[in-house]
Structure 1
Amino acid sequence: MKREQNELLAKEKNSLIAHYLQLEIDSLESKFSTQFNDELNHKAFEFYRKRNYDPIWRLNESSSILPEQYLSLLDSVHLEGLNANDYNKEILEQYRKNVGDFIDKNNKTKDIHAKAIAKTDLNFTISFLKILNHLKNGKIDQGELGLQWDLNNENEINAEQLLIQVIQKNDINAAIAKVYPKIKQYNQLRELLKFYYSLSNNTNWRKLQPGITLSLDSVSADVIILRQNLLQTKDLQENKNNVQQSTLFDAELKKAVVSYQVRHGLEPSGIVDEEFIEIMNTPLSNWIALIELGLEKTRWLPDSLGDKHIFINIPDFSLQMIDKENVIREMKVITGKTMRSTPVFSGKIKYVVFSPYWNVPKSIAVNDLLPKIKNNPGFLRKNHYELFENWDPNSTRINPRKIDWDTIEENNFSFRLRQKPGPWNSMGRVKFMFPNNFSIYMHDTPEKHLFIKERRDFSSGCIRIQEPEKMAEFLLPEMTEEEITGKMNKKSEEYINLKTPTSVYITYNTVGVNDKGQAVFFQDVYKMDEKLIEMYHKTPLK
């Protein structure tokens, strides 16, 4: 009898909470709060309706561990590069402070407590769904970044399924694991963020005196500060021969300075100069912001990049060929100059064109080539260009010398320029096509000398690759090296479809992780990060 009475009281208690949950949801829908994303809110409301407004978090039951689990997650969410205050932490913390008022030991729920429990239950759910969405898709909507950024992750969360999982397991961790980014780079950046937070909390980090210069065999009190900082960044290894208070700039310290310079994109001179001091004196909060942004950019990628894929990073001017998470080969790339920047997006390489023609885009023909044609009527013939009447596939080829080029400007330039296959061709001897809205592809280049340069933003947007033969071997494993070389040196164009399209990701990451787990910072060549960081920290919740 007593058990039946308790069950009846519990049912009445939850009915009262459900009543106030319904009132709260109806109220929110009538005067909708803009604090959170409408779509996710409606998913939460619909979920409550399906369960007749039965509460999820069991705030009034001493056996419920869900609220404390979630509050503990918010306590450490900064290690994901997220801000707990974006998820109503201050409001939810009231539960922690007043937990005694929520737990009803006598199976009696006062009206005022039921109302508070209902409102807090809903706040927990809405907050939880937002953090799941941000872990899965990031805070910033890529659509707000403009047409030059579209990684298209399509990582939609199933709110109902995740909430059911939480209720059935009485545990939020399985749901968190479901949405947690699976990419190796994410965990590397997360460890990096944790490390930089520890550095920022370390009172031993000190600034170098501006205006000084330190090099091998220098003796200065500033060497002590330099040594201690490099020990903390792990560029200098602590050992019995490394005296922390030594004022001598020795060979081991020079090696550590070079390591720090390489990781921060400086000339590896081993000399502490004005540029070095400016970087080392940069507030640690700035580096933390870059790593947080790196985590956000990683969340914009799909859960799976594909067993076999190509990963390009614009600020690093690098390309990786990856198979089953193993980097098969790395090579240098040349990307778009600032005024013709390479967009950030993903696609699938579907075919390869050996010994390609180059149909010159009108913008390049008008802005780059037309002045040269006007200056030298023989320019087109000398550089192996053909001139066609227009862009129709069947258009007539015409003699450039019959055109009065002095009368040709952008508004009446209707011609198509095509460069013949050969070593002179701007596409080189092969190009790799992944159809997209940006008309971007990868290709060989006759200008091999440009790969020597550290900064390589020289193209008109397309990506020139250092070792096209190796790329062809990676994409067309059924072909021998000799077959590929033969096709690259033909005088006629040849298309070959890939048996399996290969994913390619063109990214913009200004922070990476080296083999030692240390941060590597790259130049923000397109000056994107300042805007992105501002959007990241000021963006309202999705």
Structure 2
Amino acid sequence: MAKPENDSVCLFAASAAASAVASIVAFGAASVVLAGLLRTPDAWAMPAVDQTQGGEESHLRATPTAVQNPDRLHDDPVPATGVASPRGPSLEGDTSAIQPRPVVEADPTADAAPKALAGADELSNLSKAKLSDLLSEQFSDTQEGRFLRAFYAARHWVPQWVANDVVGGANGSVGLTPRGHRLLEALDGVAAQGLDSQAYRLGEIRRLVAKGDLTSLAQAEIRSSAAAMTHLFDLLLGQTRRFMSFDKRLALLETEERLDGVNLLANAGAAPDAAVFFAGLAPDTDQYGRLIAGLANTRAQIEKGAAWGDPIPVEGRPSIKPGERDDRLPALRKRLLATGDLVGPEVDFLGYDAPLILDPVTEGAVRQFQARHGLATDGVPGAKTIARMNVSPQELRSAVEVALERWRLLPRDLGGAYVLVNVPQFELFVMEGRRVALTMPVAVGREGFETPLFSDSIKYMEFNPYWNVPISIAQNEVIPKQVNDPDYLAKTGFTVVTRTAQRDPVIDHATVDWSKIGSAAQGYRLRQEPGPKNPLGTVKFMFPNKYAVYLHDTNSRYVFSRSDRAVSHGCIRVGDPKGLADYLLANNAGLPSKVADDFKGASPQIVRLKRSLSVHLAYITAWGLEDGSIRFSQDVYGKDPVLRQALLDSAVIPHADAVMAAR
């Protein structure tokens, strides 16, 4: 058993269903397509809009920097009375980079919609007034109503989703345009991403279209735009932000994602295929597509509930060692077959005469299951392993849905290259686009010292760092050891400096009355010199923040042999500090000829990065693997139930369409 932490550093596996694979392909293709479209303004058709708002041509998003908002938090939103906490503080200062999307010329081949409206074919004054009246009637003076009024005014009241010859009062076809059909089809499929579609009121829209009269069609047009905007909010900001007011979500689009709401909605309507447009706005990471496939798998597991079997007894039962007999093994094999960790048509065909013995094949399947769940991979079904096996498919589905929402809550622009620390997985990834350039284990904050979740950027490295002990750690951990052993500070390489003098002169630790622990911690600063006893190890990676946390080496290397690495005071200990330092020296510091070992010494040396590197401290308990399986991590901080409840609370009750129709 690992010794108690005392170094005090600082405050399933089944292939995806065909539909899920198709979703991943669509998401991957969409990101490529959309990237081109955002840079090619004439790629999509869009009706003329009010030029007084646009200014010069610019892209939909501002030119990204390494981190658009270094202080932006993305912790769990906690619903309040009608309002949820935002991911973090809004960007302050200049917002001139927020520009509307430029007007683009119509593409007559992009859609089979009726001919473009111009001159005599433009909407009649009657239909303009009808749309305007309906906006006032349906939304009154609400925030959403004012937004939609501005949206349609910018379009000169040209409808976007409903067949315009009908709304214009002419005889002809009745119903949605091809783009309108594609919009509803796209919104019908959002459950594949773990999103709730009830809020889009799709049934109501279809009923209004089926009525066919001018008023109903105009209402369907307005409802379609409202549904599209709600989905854009869900996709770009997270479904759990539905608790926020419409105007606050609109402001967050601008401050966090550099997107103008009116132009974003116009581009959604101008896109030949709404599904492709929406997919291009989803998180640009392989993880999102893998989790969509994983969600399809877990839903399939639920449908095959009988294959899962009953819970495996664990209370008061011993671990099952290789070669041992246990009457739970048939049920355990059945569970491993259901999760895909054990491959074979039936247990009877595994080729073993003794089904009650833990054989090598089953042991290997247990190891694979343990690896996917962040457990010690010893092949022994013990209490923790069997408890995880007893997690139902419904709970696993919920974990994947929560993970998808967490990706939506992260900044959409993570940076061209970035560091992502997945706290519950105890792992760090250096990403270059979608390529994993470097990965390593990490140790994070333990209970009571949780690692905070936020985004920032690494500015510099400090080799051979001092450790300046925080007051709370000095008072609660270091000084009590000095009281018990008067030579403790000297033996462990601590220097004592006064906090009052301007130059912090070093003083003799023997002159301090350490028995007065509180006053000693407040009056003196403890600084540990560089060296093998320093818990920061050889280097720390700094992204100055209000939490005073950072990445660093450690002199407690044994911690990386543990499966549960929530052990620190909040900072992140990295398993390969030399690898990370060498990467930054070559790619961000402009020192490709240097390596970390060149900076070894007895004194601190700071290397500032010429190009800062984005860093995101995230909390994702379901992680998609290349083989199509999902790795589930322990919810070490108990955050998933909070976000899961927020997802449920933000969803519209089932059959809401029927209720509205009855009204």
Q: TM-score w.r.t. structure 2 length?
A: 0.69
Q: Secondary structure, in 3 states, of the residue corresponding to 1:405? A: coil
Per-residue deviation at 1:365? 1.7
Shift of the 96–499 alpha-carbon distance from structure 1 to 2, 3 Å rule, reads: same
2:310 to 208, 224, 229: 208
In structure 1, the residue matched to 2:148 is: 44
Q: How big is each residue's C-alpha offset from its partner over 1:185-212, in whole Å with a ceiling of 9 and x where there is no partner?
A: 1111111111111221225433235438
- State how far apart, in whole Å, the 2-side matches of 1:480 and 1:47 are: 51
Identify which range, 293-302 or 185-194, moves more after superposition: 293-302
SS in 2 for 1:292: helix
Take 2:458 and 2:532, find their aligned partners in 1: how far apart are those partners?
Answer: 23
1:172 is aligned to 274
Separation (CA, whole Å) in 2 of partners of 1:469 and 1:181: 30
Q: How far apart are residue 520 of structure 1 and its match?
A: 0.9
The aligned residue for residue 485 of structure 1 is 597
Partners of 1:532 and 1:391 in 2: how far apart? 45
Displacement of 1:231 in angstroms is 3.4
1: CA distance, partners of 2:404 / 2:412: 14
Closer, same or farther: CA 519–140 of 1 in aligned 2, 3 Å: same
Structure 1 portions without partners, runs of 5+ = 33-37, 103-112, 145-151
Change (3 A) 1:169 1:504: closer
Match of 1:473 in 2: 582
- Partner SS for 2:554: coil
Report the CA distance shift for 1:95/1:351 in structure 2 as closer, same or farther (over 3 A). closer
- How far apart are residue 312 of structure 1 and its match? 1.2
Amino acid of the structure 2 residue aligned with 1:514: L
Structure 2 residue corresponding to 1:537, chosen from 640, 648, 652: 648
Deviations 1:215-260 (A, max 9, x none): 7778999766654543343212246997389993654344323322
In structure 2, how many angstroms separate the alpha carbons of the residues matched to 1:408 and 1:240? Answer: 66
| Structure-2 change in CA distance of 1:215 and 1:42 (3 Å) | farther
- Of 192, 196, 199, the residue aligned with 2:294 is 192
What pairs up with 1:285-324 in 2 under 5 angstroms?
285-324=394-433
Shift of 1:269: 5.0
1:284 and 2:393 correspond: yes
Tell me whether 1:67 sits opposite 2:169 in the alignment. no
Contact 1:334 1:457 in 2 (8 A): yes
Residue equivalent to 1:243: 349
Q: Which stretch shows the higher mean deviation, 215-224 or 399-408?
A: 215-224
Secondary structure at 1:311 match in 2 = strand
The CA deviation at 1:304 is 3.8
Choose which of 611, 615, 628 in structure 2 pairs with 1:517. Answer: 628
Q: Taking CA–CA contacts closer than 8 Å with sequence separation of 6 or more, which of the two structures ends up with the larger relative contact order?
A: 2
Q: Distance in 2 between matches of 1:393 and 1:207?
A: 70
Structure 2 Cα separation of the partners of residues 504 and 392 of structure 1: 36
Q: Which residue pairs with 1:35 in the alignment?
A: none
Specify the alignment match of 1:326 in structure 2.
435
CA spacing shift, 1:245–1:137, aligned 2, 3 Å: farther
SS of equivalent to 1:55? coil
**1:137 alignment partner in structure 2:** 237
| Correspondence for 1:83 | 196
Deviation at 1:331, TM superposition (A): 1.8
Structure 2 stretches lacking a partner, 5+ long:
1-113, 167-173, 245-253, 653-663
Report the equivalent of 1:502.
613
1:230 counterpart residue number: 336
One-letter code aligned to 1:79 = A
- Please give the alpha-carbon distance, in whole angstroms, between the structure 1 residues aligned to 2:328 and 2:568: 43
Moved more, 457-466 or 397-406: 397-406
Letter paired with 1:163: L
The question of whether the paired residues in 2 share the 8 Å contact of 1:153 and 1:302 is answered with no
Partner of 2:295: helix, strand, or coil? helix
The Cα offsets for residues 358-408 of structure 1, whole Å up to 9 and x where unpaired, read as 222222222222222333333222222222221666233222222223334
Q: Aligned runs of 1:57-456 on 2, under 5 Å?
A: 57-58=161-162, 60=166, 61-62=174-175, 64-88=177-201, 92-97=202-207, 99-102=209-212, 113-141=213-241, 154-169=256-271, 171-208=273-310, 210-211=312-313, 226-238=332-344, 243=349, 248=355, 251-270=360-379, 275-390=384-499, 394-409=503-518, 413-456=522-565
What is the aligned partner in structure 2 of residue 148 from structure 1?
Answer: none
Please give the alpha-carbon distance, in whole angstroms, between the structure 2 residues aligned to 1:236 and 1:76. Answer: 32
Tell me, what secondary structure is at the counterpart of 1:455? coil
Q: Is the 8 A contact 2:208 2:219 kept in 1?
A: no
Give how far 1:420 is off.
Answer: 1.3
Residues 1:434 and 1:142: Cα distance change in structure 2 (over 3 Å): farther
The amino acid across from 1:465 in the alignment is: V
SS of the residue 1:409 aligns to: helix
Contact map agreement 1:207 1:280 (CA 8 A) in 2? no
| Partner-residue secondary structure (3-state), 2:256 | coil
Alignment partners' CA distance in 1, 2:593 and 2:519: 44
Deviation at 1:80, TM superposition (A): 0.7
1:142-188 per-position Cα deviation (integer Å, ceiling 9, x unaligned)? 999xxxxxxx9922543322333344455423531442221111111
Whichever residue aligns with residue 58 of structure 1, its letter is V
Which residue matches 1:147?
A: none
The structure-2 alpha-carbon separation of the partners of 1:240 and 1:11, relative to structure 1 and needing over 3 Å to count, comes to same
Q: SS of the counterpart of 2:636? A: coil
Evaluate the alpha carbon distance shift between residue 11 and residue 481 of structure 1 in structure 2; reply closer, same or farther with a 3 A threshold.
closer
Secondary structure of 2:128's match?
Answer: helix
The CA distance in 2 between the partners of 1:101 and 1:28, in whole Å, is 18
Letter in 2 for 1:50: A
Q: Alpha-carbon deviations, 1:260-297, whole Å to 9, x = none?
A: 23323345454556655543343312111110111111
Aligned length: 509
Structure 1 equivalent of residue 88 of structure 2: none
Identical-pair percentage: 28
Q: Give 1:248's aligned amino acid.
A: P
Look up the SS of the partner of 1:496 in the other structure. Answer: strand
Distance 2:308 2:561 in 1: 36
Rate the CA distance shift 1:540–1:158 in 2: closer, same or farther, 3 A.
Answer: farther
Supply the distance in 1 between the matched residues of 2:243 and 2:175 (Cα, whole angstroms): 44
Which secondary structure state, in structure 2, belongs to the residue aligned with residue 70 of structure 1? helix
The change in CA–CA distance for 1:327 and 1:270 in structure 2 (over 3 A counts) is: same
Contact 1:208 1:280 in 2 (8 A): no
Q: State whether residues 423 and 446 of structure 1, in contact with CA within 8 Å, keep that contact through their aligned partners in structure 2.
A: yes
Find the aligned partners of 2:308 and 2:471 in 1 and give their Cα distance: 55
Distance 1:101 1:142, change over 3 A: closer
Structure 1 pair 528–402 and aligned structure 2 pair: CA distance change class (3 A): same
Root-mean-square deviation (CA, aligned residues, Å) is: 3.5
CA contact (8 A) 1:208 1:277 kept: no
Query: Do the aligned residues in 1 keep the contact of 2:442 with 2:572 (CA within 8 Å)?
Result: yes
Residues 1:225 and 1:96: Cα distance change in structure 2 (over 3 Å): farther
